[in-house]
Amino acid sequence: MKKVLVGVLAVLLIILVGIGGYIYKIIGALSDMDNSPIIWDENPGDFGIPESAPIEEDTGTINILLLGTDRRNRNENGRSDAIMIATVDKKNGQLKLSSIMRDLYVSIPDRKDNRINAAYSFGGPMLAMKTINQNFNLNITRYVSVDFFGLEEIINAIGGVEIDVKQKEIKYINSVINELNKLDKQNRTSPQLTEAGVQTLDGKQAVAYSRIRKVGDGDSERTERQRRVMTQIFNQMKSINPMKLPNLVASLIPYTDTNIPASDIISLGTTVLTMKDKKIYQYRVPAKDTYKSQTIRGMAVYVPDLDANTKQLHDFLYNKVTE
């Protein structure tokens, strides 16, 4: 029996794209699938939600944790190279995407303090949600995860993404492309990039672009690249014939994991259909001037001012964004 495995991009397709009519076809695409969640934790109901965390029913805001992992095969956890929060702000009628930098040094429940991306490696999506909830006083109970092989397949399925590649990025992108080509068990290779400028990147090239961090402002600029790829995927989805979307969603399902039932996905999509503002507002944690770069136990990390970052993140998630 199949599990409902709707990926980061498939969920965003339903959450973020307000194309009338297609959602009812997706009901059929999901109707034959088992919507039981994948459980990584002995206590699946323990999301580590603080008592003072904003309540979804009161705020009218739905937050979903998006995780991009670096695992090489389905039998390992890997670490969450990309950590984002997709937000459907029903109160203010806005769609939002927040990045959390992977080297953020935080408390991980029942573990030593560590980089935030280690939480997924230690305990999968449940521990990742619990860590984020407890550090930032949030109430997140939904997740979607995809590894970079799945992301590659998803990007290929939509015909690639258009990215403005900088000259200084090319050699680092090509290095990751080489790595991904060697890991491809089906011997499907992607060509290296030869010039800068706006161009359509295939799955491997786009994944390589979103993973580089040794050029520009380190992990901060990498989160910008990741959000840029997500935004371009969203734009590409909008151009697809609505009649083809259900089959596309079905083709993406095997590449991803989630604990969101099909009924909730449909409800989220219906909510988005009523939103007039289809822009994706973006944010990054930690915010500027709210963290210090340090070396702890041999790790280069960002030590955040949690009070300041929690306040600013809440302001972005729960209030109307004007910029």
- Half-sphere exposure (CA, 13 Å, Cβ side) for 147? 17
**pLDDT attached to residue 104:** 95
Neighbours of 274 (CB within 10 A): 9
Whether 34 shows a pLDDT value over 50: the answer reads: no
84 found inside a domain: yes
Which residue's structure tokens are 């009649």? 243
CB 313, CB 283: distance < 8 Å: yes
DSSP-based three-state secondary structure for 224: helix
- Better-scored residue on pLDDT, 35 or 85: 85
From the number of C-beta atoms within 10 Å of its C-beta (0-12, 13-18, 19+), residue 33 rates as: middle
Percent of the chain beyond pLDDT 90?
Answer: 50
CATH code for position 251: 3.40.630.190
243 found inside a domain: yes
Domain count, the chain: 1
Q: What is the residue range of 99's domain?
A: 8-158+234-318
Which DSSP state fits 243? G
Structure tokens at 147: 């590894």
pLDDT level of residue 32 (50, 70, 90 thresholds): very low
148 found inside a domain: yes
226 found inside a domain: no
- pLDDT tens profile 217-265: 767 788 889 888 988 887 777 677 766 766 676 667 677 788 888 778 7
Whether 1 shows a pLDDT value over 50: the answer reads: no
> Distance between CA atoms of 29 and 23, rounded to whole angstroms?
10
Whether 3 shows a pLDDT value over 50: the answer reads: no
206 found inside a domain: no
- Better-scored residue on pLDDT, 100 or 68: 100
174 found inside a domain: no
Q: Angle between the 148-157 and 218-238 helix axes, to the nearest 10 degrees?
A: 30
> Distance between CA atoms of 34 and 2, rounded to whole angstroms?
6
List the beta bridge partners of residue 238. Answer: none
pLDDT level of residue 196 (50, 70, 90 thresholds): very high
212 found inside a domain: no
- pLDDT tens profile 125-139: 999 999 999 999 999
264 found inside a domain: yes
pTM: 0.79
β-pairing, 80-89 with 61-69? antiparallel
DSSP-based three-state secondary structure for 280: strand
